[in-house]
Structure 1
Amino acid sequence: MFRKKAGEVLIDLLIEWGVDHIYGMPGDSINSIIEPLRKVQDKIKFIQVRHEEAGALAAASYAKLTGKIGVCMAIAGPGAIHLLNGLYDAKLDRVPVLAITGQVESDLLGTDFFQEVNLERMFDDVAVYNQRIMSAEQLPAVVNQAIRTAYTKEGVSVLTIPDDIPRFEVESEARGTSSFFVRSEIFAREFDLEKARQLLERAEKPVILAGKGAKGARESLLSFADQIGAPIVITLPGKGVIPDEHPFCLGGLGLIGTKPAYEAMREADTLVMVGTSYPFTGFLPNSAKTIQIDTDPSQIGKRYPVDVGLAGDADKTLKWLTTHVTRHHDRSFLERCQQHMKQWWARMERQAENSSTPIKPQRVIQALQQVAHEDAVLSVDVGNVTVWMARHFRMTEQQFIISSWLATLGCGLPGAIAGKIAYPDKQVFAVCGDGGFGMTMNDFVTAVKYDLPIVVVVLNNHKIAMIKFEQEVMGNVEFGTNLVNPNFAQYAEACGGIGYRVEQPGDLLPAFQQAVSQTKPCIIDVLVDANEAPMPAKITFGQAAGYAKHMVKELFAERRIDLPI
């Protein structure tokens, strides 16, 4: 009677779980897994990346976009170590990812053999499930448990598989388990709902802060906002939960947010946090009554004091509140916020229409807006580019992903690769700074190899520009932020893609229009103004004083003037 080897069983189980592609780099300690994977390329496609970090970032991005588990693979030692950054991105943004890593053979463990690393210890902090496979018979149950745990705990599962295990046959007495998971339906206690209702009845200046957890609850969120007359402020991970130009939307909050959102929070007497555990509490009201809605009770009150916690699904909770709270007829606070937002958009429009050179970053986002479809996927990197996209790109139905909690440079390109694999018929853009793109640009050839016609937009100012601004706000002289970049358009051509170099504002829109019509991966390399600071919506005295101090230091540094003792 034919019995399958453990490597074959592993691949069969991944297929049962609906996995259709894996990001990775083949190598000696996973060759016994790569071989059975090779035989089922019609069911699970192997996406060979050029760096395992990009594979892990792509797996995390795929999970963010689809809700399905992202899978990445690496050899023991260096390959597994390279996965860590992408896995921490998945952990902090709470999405399901499975990492499969090789290991030295079982009888060599503990001998300090070539490429042997204590992977269980290394992955202990990042993983919600972290196991080394000890036998072929153990593998089926552990694989199922790893994937089930990643889904239910919204995190990273790691399976470390010694090189000999996949070659062993799985005996018939191996423990059998189920290849599926179930979700629970969470709803807040009636006692807590009633407390929230009473608090909302007394609200005169309510504000809603909506995060990622409110996605999928758009209609109930808008109905609730209308019922209580509240503007909606959006966190960065929640961008797109409602359209940016919706009458209730005040945009983002914090250093990358809008002035109307900042002002609304200053005035608010009642705050409703929906699906967010917002960390920058200095931007939240000082003394507002606060209601927090979250499916995870451990997040409620974790970072900001709340008066009422509602542990429940956002959609169902908001529907209950809308039904039970008396409609607020005084719309004066909401209308004042809306007027401020109209003025803000007019200000953003003026910035985007600036035709000076070097090109203003805001103008690049305006060009992107003109060609992006309603259902486009936007994978945004970290840095100043985050500010420009958060403030200036007006979301409608697009999907927006970013490394929101880890904020790791280099996430833009892997996210776009994952986006095109997930949605081959949609436009997919990577919007990157030159610093972020430089971190993972080697995997542009991965997009070329697999015929993924993504459009990579590089805001090229030869600077780590956000750090330049941070140094200046501290009152310091800029240091260590200059970059020496290649011509990214020529790089695209060298890789087998298509490149556009844009130095004049008038060439921006034609370059975008040509790029989105291509069937190959493209890079639009835009030379932008390095001195365009991502100024906060509201500048504090400390920031202004620090910037002034920096300017004085720059003056003396440039003229080499010695200050008197």
Structure 2
Amino acid sequence: MFRKKAGEVLIDLLIQWGVDHIYGMPGDSINSIVEPLRKAHEAGKIKFIQVRHEEAGALAAAAYAKLTGKLGVCLTIAGPGSIHTLNGLYDAKLDRAPVLAICGQVESDLLGTDFFQEVNLERLFDDVAVYNQRIMSAEQLPTVVNQAIRTAYTRHGVAVLTVPDDVPKFEMEGDIRYTKPFYVKPQIMPELKDLEQAKQVINDAEKPVILAGKGTKGASQALIDFAEKIAAPIVLSLPAKGVIPDEHPLCLGGLGQIGTKPAYNAMQNADTLILIGTSYPFNAFLPDKAKTIHVDIDPYQIGKRYPADVGCAGDAGKTLEWLTAHIKAKQDRSFLEHHQEMMKRWWKKMEQEEADDSVPIKPQKVLRMLNQVAHDDAVLSVDVGNVTVWTARDFRITNQQFILSSWLATLGCGLPGALAGQMAYPDKQVFAICGDGGFGMTMNDFVTAVKYELPIKIIVLNNHKIAMIKYEQEVMGNIEFGTNLVNPNFAKFAEACGGIGYRVEKVEELPQALEQAVSQTKPCIVDVIVDANEPPLPAKITFAQAAGFSKHMVKELFTEGKLDLPPI
């Protein structure tokens, strides 16, 4: 009778599920998995991408899932390797991305003996995982693998399989019962009574505003048609940037610290708020008094953070299509037109800031120039910090894909996201837009891009500071502390790794550096020295922020002896 080892069956199942690559690092507790993976890799059935840190592998798996909707997979050893994955797995959990983590473990007969690198992995992953199971036998493996992957897809989260190192070596009978490696994706519609109630609220609205989240991805046209019919401006949550083009006539951009003034103004004056596919957390930027409709495929999210008058639990696209077909067309478009005029003035203001040719280079200038060399279908992996603000405000997305660590907001996500982007879309331009703080956290995996010939382009906004924290300290009225960074020359680092580097210190050097970078077939770093004192001011500055910043300035003047005291 034909026999296979359990490790071979594991790899076969991943291939049947459509997994075409895995991020990871080999080690002693997964060698019995790595061997069948090697054979499949050499046969061209699945790729193994060796990362230099397991956190980068988990972040890349999460980014791949966000970009494609497909399962991201990472492989790691027991103990320290598994611990390293936690940050990337929490990123996947909080952004609801389907990820499978396969974690080695000490052999079965050594469990509970405090053996070398033994960690209670089921307890470690208990909070992060929607499915968390140790494989106990070869016979159990096929069903558990299928259940783990199906759960990751259906519950939009992280599945963790802990595999003791002896289990993949066991032989399996050829007639062992398998479950099928597939899942069925439903189309969910709200109840008719909820749709009718939403229709009535929309028909009565005079100043409707839409806040669209990432749940509207794949429903762009339905969103536009709906907004056009009710004359409602569209505000986008940060993860939804790119759902419609930034300069679309209906788009008011983002909201909050990274948002636009027209979006803030529309929210403050709205009489009806329509939340679609978002669980927006910052209530201070939402209307104080407005009738609220909340559309989400997950009923748990409806009314979770902001009081909803009407809830519609269903697919965003299908729900919007029904509403568009049944609501009245709004004749009075003055509210929309007023904010469209405001948005035109906002873009002119942004253009003035982006035209500033002073030195140090303004970060807004970098994003403006990047817009000119980025293809319409490029992938942007954006790190966390001030760089998020500048990209959200100053990069005008047309059809590009935009990903970031949204809910966890973990520094260091930019480079791993670009690795995943290039794996997902080998023929597209892929950019990582990073601050120097974020890039410094995962920069060692630039050599991964070199090794696998992934021509990613890293744009580093280098101000030698953790600049967002500097600004936060100042807004609190405190003196900046602990935010200075000592950086290498990132361009020379790129060259030392076998890539290509460009150092930009003058505005006139920037266009050529970006044009040369996008023409290269090797991974590149464009290291741009930018102004550390350019504050990421929110669209609406509160009195408390202004007062805090003023207090900070007075403290600085006294501390540095810049303010003469009157004689006593």
TM range (shorter): over 0.9
Shift of the alpha carbon at 1:91? 0.3
Q: Which residue of 1 is the match for residue 188 of structure 2?
A: 186
Match of 2:508 in 1: 506
Amino acid of the residue matched to residue 499 of structure 1? G
Equivalent residues of 1:413, 1:441 under 8 A apart: yes
Query: After superposition, what is the alpha-carbon deviation per residue over 1:134-189, rounded to whole angstroms, capped at 9, x for unaligned?
Result: 01111010000000000000000000000100000123463310100001110011
Match of 2:492, SS state, is helix
Task: State the match for 2:200 in structure 1.
Answer: 198
Q: Distance in 2 between matches of 1:176 and 1:20?
A: 21
Unaligned ranges ≥5, structure 2: none
Count residues with an aligned counterpart: 565
**What secondary structure sits across from 2:256 in the alignment?**
coil
How many angstroms apart in 2 are the aligned matches of 1:170 and 1:95? Answer: 32
1:441 aligns with 2:443: yes
Matched, 1:21 2:24: no
Partner SS, residue 74 of structure 2: strand
Structure 1 residue aligned with 2:483, among 458, 481, 484?
A: 481
Identical positions, percent: 76
Q: Letter of the aligned partner of 1:208 in structure 2?
A: I
Name stretches of at least 5 consecutive residues in structure 1 with no aligned partner: none
**1:331-342 map, 5 Å:** 331-342=333-344
Question: Which of these residues, 507, 515, 518, is aligned with residue 516 of structure 1?
Answer: 518
**For the residues of structure 2 that align with 1:396 and 1:230, how far apart are their CA atoms?**
20
Partner of 2:245: 243
- On the 8 A contact 1:138/1:175 being kept in 2, the answer is no
Would the aligned equivalents of 2:208 and 2:232 in 1 still touch at CA under 8 Å? yes
In structure 1, the partner of 2:320 is 318
The one-character-per-residue Cα deviations of 1:312-333 (angstroms, maximum 9, x if unpaired) are 1111111111111111010100
Contact 1:91/1:156 (8 A) holds in 2 = yes
What is the letter of the counterpart of residue 40 of structure 1? A
* SS of 2:32 mapped into structure 1: helix
Shift of 1:2: 2.8
Counterparts of 2:326 and 2:142, CA distance in 1: 49
For residues 195 and 142 of structure 1, what CA distance do their matches in structure 2 show?
43
- SS of equivalent to 2:103: strand
Q: Where has structure 1 moved over 2 Å in runs of 4 or more?
A: 171-175, 560-565
Q: Does residue 374 in structure 1 map to residue 376 in structure 2?
A: yes
Aligned 8 A contact 2:4 2:174 in 1: no
CA distance in 1, matches of 2:177, 2:485: 55
Q: Is 1:39 the counterpart of 2:39 in the alignment? A: yes
Offset, 1:489: 0.2
Instruction: Give the residue type in structure 1 aligned to 2:443.
Output: M
Please state if 1:401 is matched with 2:387: no
Q: Name the counterpart of 2:229.
A: 227
Which residue identity is paired with 2:4? Answer: K
String of CA shifts for 1:479-519, please: whole Å, max 9, x gaps. 00000000000000000000000000111111000000001
- CA distance in structure 1 between the aligned counterparts of 2:296 and 2:565, rounded to whole angstroms: 56
The 8 Å contact of residues 430 and 456 in structure 1, kept in 2 or not, is answered as yes
Query: Would you say the 8 A contact 1:3–1:170 is kept in 2?
Result: yes
Query: Which residue identity lines up with residue 4 of structure 1 in the other structure?
Result: K
Partner of 1:213: 215
Displacement, 1:361? 0.1
Q: Deviations over 1:501-543 (max 9, x none)?
A: 0000111111000000001000000000000000000000000
Contact map agreement 2:2 2:173 (CA 8 A) in 1: no
Structure 2 counterpart of 1:48, one-letter code:
Q
Tell me if structure 2 keeps the 8 A contact 1:294–1:313. yes
Q: Letter of the aligned partner of 2:39 in structure 1?
A: K
Q: Deviations over 1:372-404 (max 9, x none)?
A: 000000000000000000001111100000000
What CA distance in whole angstroms lies between the structure 2 residues aligned with 1:177 and 1:120? Answer: 24
- Is the 2:2–2:174 Cα contact (8 Å) retained in structure 1? no
Query: Corresponding residue for 1:136?
Result: 138
Q: Does 2:557 correspond to 1:555?
A: yes
Residues 60/563 of structure 1: CA separation in 2 closer, same or farther (3 Å cut): farther
Q: Secondary structure at the match of 1:4?
A: strand
Root-mean-square deviation over aligned CA pairs:
1.2
Task: Provide the residue aligned with 1:2 in structure 2.
Answer: 2
Letter in 2 for 1:413: L
**How far apart, in 1, do the equivalents of 2:397 and 2:510 lie?**
20
Correspondence for 2:30: 30
Equivalent pair of 2:246/2:253 in contact (CA under 8 Å): yes
